[in-house]
Amino acid sequence: MRVMRVLLVGAGGVGTAITRIAARRPFFDRMVVADYDPSRAEAAVSALGAEAGRFQAERVDAGDEAQVAALLAKHECDVLLNATDPRFVMPLFRAALGAKATYVDMAMSLSKPHPERPYEECGVKLGDEQFERAAEWEKAGALALVGMGVEPGLSDVFARYAADELFDEIEEIGVRDGANLTVEGYDFAPSFSIWTTIEECLNPPVVYEAGRGWFTTEPFSEPEVFDFPEGIGPVECVNVEHEEVLLVPRWVNARRVTFKYGLGQEFIDTLKTLHLLGLDRTEPVTVPSARGPVQVSPRDVVAACLPDPATLGERMHGKTCAGTWVRGTKDGAPREVYLYHVVDNQWSMAEYGCQAVVWQTAINPVVALELLATGEWSGTGVLGPEAFPARPFLDLLNAYGSPWGMREQ
């Protein structure tokens, strides 16, 4: 058993949920909770009450590699767990490599659309910047476990499990995400970071096909109605850019890999309007303020106008489902399964005081850290969740009290 000291960067919804899940597990020695806003880090730690002993709040600018490196050194942390938004992936990834610390994130380095044919060809793909440095990680004997949330993350573990235990040949692996969550008192209140949602949904969706490789389509392409389990029911899903499509084909054989998100028509229309008006942009525009003209990112303003999804748990009702649908053959016969994980908001609020979507994201990196601590998972280089054996992860998820399910289609 390795003695683990974790630097958790980001004390937003997901970071806070991570502290609450981890506090119940003995596998680590210390968790330093660092945020740009020190009051958020302090709030996360103090909310742990009697369980706060192994936790400590710090302030950090996740974009400042030197500051992050200094914090890793100060607290002798051997793991950096990144719970910030994807803009900070690269500085945190580099800081961890410099310190030879294990790095874990839940979203990968950002893509850039193809300059001429954005809706046909990939430009810079999600994670490209990270995979380019894989040799350096191997040389350092260190591990970057990338995309280790729920989606990507658990969805990738499901893909590996299907390939290892359920199928001989796989025709298609399609991650499918849907929910029936509503928020009382709000006409429009996304249940996950709007910054990330805009990034995912308005970038050209990426699809993988054996022989053809990765390619892109128009946003919101290939709509399909997917029937989600445990009472959620049918939801309209569309192609969205997501890490699984880039990760799964590197370790799992499948003729086609897709990711479809159950956005619903109203949400799709809203995102289209934001794009039409240029309000999805991250490049700053100049606007008046009481202090004179200032430069702000329109997407940050959109986020500031909406309620913080992490604070909506009390008003939220319903369930969220993440899962991987797999179609192929086993013992010569066609087979089709949906491997899934459902969280009921009422349960996650009662058990952890966290809303379902951020809680579901947060549990998976904690499970992964525990497997790394016990040595059941190990490796060097830049690896996705499907690079590791799936069964220990799925068993430990059940042991955490949040079981996964499988439906034969």
Nearest partner of 64 among 84, 42, 40, judged by Cα: 84
What is the per-residue binding string for its own copies in 356-395, x denoting contact by CB under 8 A? Answer: ----------------------------------------
Interatomic CA distance for residues 115 and 123, integer angstroms: 7
Query: What stretches of 353-400 show up as alpha helix (H) in DSSP?
Result: 356-374, 390-399
- Please give the structure tokens belonging to residue 331: 């013992």
User: Which stretch, 5-13, 71-79, 246-254, 291-299, contacts its own copies (CB under 8 A)?
Assistant: 291-299
Interatomic CA distance for residues 132 and 333, integer angstroms: 40
Interatomic CA distance for residues 344 and 232, integer angstroms: 10
CB closer to its own copies out of 305 and 399? 305
Please tell me whether residue 302 binds its own copies under the rule CB under 8 A.
Answer: yes
Beta-carbon count within 10 A of 79 CB: 24
CA distances for 68 relative to 17, 100, 145, 274, angstroms: 21, 13, 18, 34
Sole binder of its own copies in the list 49, 141, 185, 288 (CB under 8 A): 288
Length of the chain: 409
CB closer to its own copies out of 270 and 346? 270
User: Which stretch, 73-81, 247-255, 302-310, 321-329, contacts its own copies (CB under 8 A)?
Assistant: 302-310
For residue 15, report the phi and psi dihedrals to the nearest 5 degrees. -60, -45
Please tell me whether residue 289 binds its own copies under the rule CB under 8 A.
Answer: yes
Q: How far apart are the first and last CA of the chain?
A: 40
- Please give the structure tokens belonging to residue 406: 């499988």
Distance of CA 225 to the CA centre of its chain: 23
Q: How far is the CB of 87 from its own copies (least distance, A)?
A: 11
Strands 294-296 and 285-287: antiparallel
Q: How far is it between the farthest Cα atoms of the chain?
A: 71
Q: How far is the CB of 9 from its own copies (least distance, A)?
A: 17
User: Which stretch, 68-76, 277-285, 315-323, 366-374, contacts its own copies (CB under 8 A)?
Assistant: 277-285
Q: How far is the CB of 61 from its own copies (least distance, A)?
A: 11
User: Which stretch, 54-62, 235-243, 295-303, 354-362, contacts its own copies (CB under 8 A)?
Assistant: 295-303
Sole binder of its own copies in the list 281, 315, 330, 407 (CB under 8 A): 281
Binders of its own copies among residues 217 to 276 (CB under 8 A) are: 269-270, 273-274, 276
User: Which stretch, 123-131, 297-305, 353-361, 393-401, contacts its own copies (CB under 8 A)?
Assistant: 297-305
Residues 240 and 200 sit within 8 Å (Cβ to Cβ): yes
CB closer to its own copies out of 135 and 294? 294
Please tell me whether residue 300 binds its own copies under the rule CB under 8 A.
Answer: yes
Binders of its own copies among residues 157 to 216 (CB under 8 A) are: 187-188
CB closer to its own copies out of 73 and 305? 305
User: Which stretch, 112-120, 148-156, 218-226, 278-286, contacts its own copies (CB under 8 A)?
Assistant: 278-286
Positive or negative, the Cα torsion across 299, 305, 307, 310?
Answer: positive
CA distances for 235 relative to 178, 276, 324, angstroms: 7, 25, 15
Q: How far is the CB of 212 from its own copies (least distance, A)?
A: 31
Q: How far is the CB of 40 from its own copies (least distance, A)?
A: 14
CB closer to its own copies out of 73 and 301? 301
CB closer to its own copies out of 66 and 277? 277
- Please give the structure tokens belonging to residue 227: 């029937």
Nearest partner of 321 among 221, 405, 219, judged by Cα: 405
3-state secondary structure of 229: coil
Please tell me whether residue 296 binds its own copies under the rule CB under 8 A.
Answer: yes
Sole binder of its own copies in the list 277, 329, 395, 405 (CB under 8 A): 277
Nearest partner of 29 among 72, 100, 81, 78, judged by Cα: 78
Interface positions with its own copies (CB under 8 A) = 187-188, 269-270, 273-274, 276-279, 281, 284-291, 294-298, 300-306
